Amino acid sequence: MKYMKAEVILPEDLLRELQKYVQGATLYIPKCEGVRKKWGENSGSRDFLSHRNQEICNKFREGHSIDDLAETFCLSYDSIKRIVYSKKR
């Protein structure tokens, strides 16, 4: 997160208005809702997990047991069960 001086980037009237509420403190201003990325989009984690879960579902449909999948993917029995019985797929 990059810090910026408010007096450099904000109009003077807006700065005075903000000073009514906060003075001499660090203020976090979040991005607009439409601009924010979802969890895992930057790092690729979302895509990795989606691909892994699809692979688990495919193997389950091919006849692999939940116990075998848990061992193969190093996940708990309940995690595999949640993935294969999820209604999203």
Q: Name the residue ranges covered by the structural domains of the chain.
A: 6-84
Q: Give per-residue pLDDT as tens, 12-22.
A: 999 999 999 99
Quick one: pLDDT at residue 85?
93
Contacts of 6 (CB under 8 A, 6+ apart): 15, 18, 27
Q: Give per-residue pLDDT as tens, 21-52.
A: 999 998 888 878 777 777 777 788 889 999 99
CA distances from 25 to 14, 21, 28 (A): 16, 10, 10
CA distance 59 to 65: 9
